[in-house]
Amino acid sequence: MDVDKRLGYYLNTLCENDMIGSDMEKRTHIKNTVESVGSIVTVMGWVDSRRDHGSLIFLDIRDSTGIVQAVVSPKSEDAYSHAKHIREEWVLKITGAVKKRPDAMVNDDIATGTVEMQVTTLEVLGVSKTPPFPLHTDGLDIDEESRLRYRFIDLRRQRMQNNIRLRSEFIHRVRSLLFDNDFVEIETPLLTQSTPEGARDFVVPSRLQPGSFYALPQSPQQYKQLLMVAGFERYFQIARCLRDEDLRADRAFEHSQIDMEMSFMDEEAIRAFDEDLITRVYEAMGATIKEKPFPVFSYQEAMEQFGADKFDLRTEEEKREGILAFAWVVDFPFFEKKDDGKWTFTHNPFSMPKHEHIDFVLEEKRLDEVVAHQYDLVCNGYEIGSGSIRSHHPNITRSVFSILGYTEEHIEEQFGHMLEAFSFGAPPHGGIAHGIERLMMLITNEQYLREVQAFPQTSSGRTAVMNAPAPLSHDQLDELKVNVNTEDEKER
């Protein structure tokens, strides 16, 4: 999709709705200066660029709605003497008359290109050191460490403003469609017990129970199923998921999911609902979808045709045009054998086996033939969603964990609460979760997940701007009763 056009869209839609407390800001949004010819306005914003032509100083002032040219002449003595010292990225409040620019001077690159402000007063609200890197480029050639250390400045560049605002719009659209369809937004705990999603957990030591640890959720999987048992029927959450796994261009320690769960719906109904949601949101944002309804491939067909369960259905030309080629992959094998000969689950241990394979699971036989009610949504080579119909019968779930090699005690200890919940009248249910960053990479044409997250980690797993991970003080460690056994510890 044409990202520049999207910014144009933003500039036009921003500020159009009734604003709450609009008297609060005694300023004109820069976008609106274009309608203020002949009036005196006050704008506030950053110096996007400054050109000193000796007799006149030109300042391009930027706020979140646009950029306007301001002209400071020696006639406004005070403002002019300030303007002599001002540099890029300083924050200013300027007041002046809005004038139409002569036809020959119109700047077609910006929405306010037909006007300029004749500055009468100028106040410096914040000075800026010289930015550590240029902000007028896409920034992709600047080293990652520096961009993330100064992320608060890096985010000022137009591409990043676009990406983060698009993400906000995307989530807003998803939320409103889900609310319109009777979904309830429910937050689930961050300090919790491990839930198997195939990655390592991040853990948090407990002060009150020394030696015990919380796990940060790899997904809200178990809680959303418990919410179905609790009778909510349609749940969603914009959920943060934390997974300690190897970092890649499209994988981070933290990502967000549109996490959904629905009761009394079968696989086809859930997929149809989700397809409608995804189609509406993407199309409302100007995307073109290659094929509707989305084609469906069985896992086996996908492996035979593409050699993988995620694939790109676009032609070279469609790639250039930014078309989105969605497809479902269904009928995944439930189990696969690990190198050590033990069984593991391919997607989600809480899934329901296909009806005809339930007995195989209960009797723990012919496990390589068991197909799960599991579905993935893929688009342009990425897996962008994954879900399943869940088993809501305690005996099936118990059998699955037994197949995975869990002892009776271990099952009770780790999943007893699920089995117990399922024994109190669990409705048939299923759901899906979409990784928001990957969804956004599709719409922004970005190749790296960090380009659609405000504060991503570096590729070595350090936080943006702030210094984490970092050692704890001895006092903190003592309080947590945690002993750290590294060489560095001695130096603390």
Binding site for ligand ASP (CB under 6 A): 197, 219, 221, 348, 386-388, 431-433
Q: Which residue, 386 or 453, has its beta carbon nearer to ligand ASP?
A: 386
The number of helix segments (H) and strand segments (E) in the chain equals 14, 17
Q: Which residue, 260 or 327, has its beta carbon nearer to ligand ASP?
A: 260
Q: Which residue, 215 or 433, has its beta carbon nearer to ligand ASP?
A: 433
CB of 224 to ligand ASP, least distance (A): 7
Helices (H), 208-328: 221-229, 267-284, 299-306, 316-321
Q: Which residue, 388 or 391, has its beta carbon nearer to ligand ASP?
A: 388
CB of 383 to ligand ASP, least distance (A): 9
Q: Which residue, 196 or 456, has its beta carbon nearer to ligand ASP?
A: 196
For residue 202, give both structure tokens: 């991040």
The whole-angstrom separation of Cα 126 and Cα 297 is 57
Q: Which residue, 153 or 400, has its beta carbon nearer to ligand ASP?
A: 400
Nearest-10 Cα torsion for 248, 246, 468, 150: -10
CB of 257 to ligand ASP, least distance (A): 6
How many other β-carbons are positioned within 10 Å of the β-carbon of residue 242?
18
Q: Which residue, 350 or 360, has its beta carbon nearer to ligand ASP?
A: 350
The whole-angstrom separation of Cα 47 and Cα 45 is 7
Q: Are 221 and 431 in contact (CB under 8 A)?
A: no
Residue for token digits 């090699």?
405
Q: Which residue, 10 or 236, has its beta carbon nearer to ligand ASP?
A: 236
Closest of 154, 158, 61, 183 to residue 112, by C-alpha: 61
CB of 245 to ligand ASP, least distance (A): 12
The whole-angstrom separation of Cα 26 and Cα 71 is 21
Contacts of 308 (CB under 8 A, 6+ apart): 302
CB of 388 to ligand ASP, least distance (A): 5
Strand residues in 157-248 grouped as ranges (E):
184-185, 203-205, 213-215, 234-242
Q: Strand 234-242 to strand 184-185: parallel, antiparallel, or no bridges (unpaired)?
A: parallel
CB of 430 to ligand ASP, least distance (A): 8
CB of 397 to ligand ASP, least distance (A): 14
CB of 387 to ligand ASP, least distance (A): 4
The whole-angstrom separation of Cα 304 and Cα 151 is 44
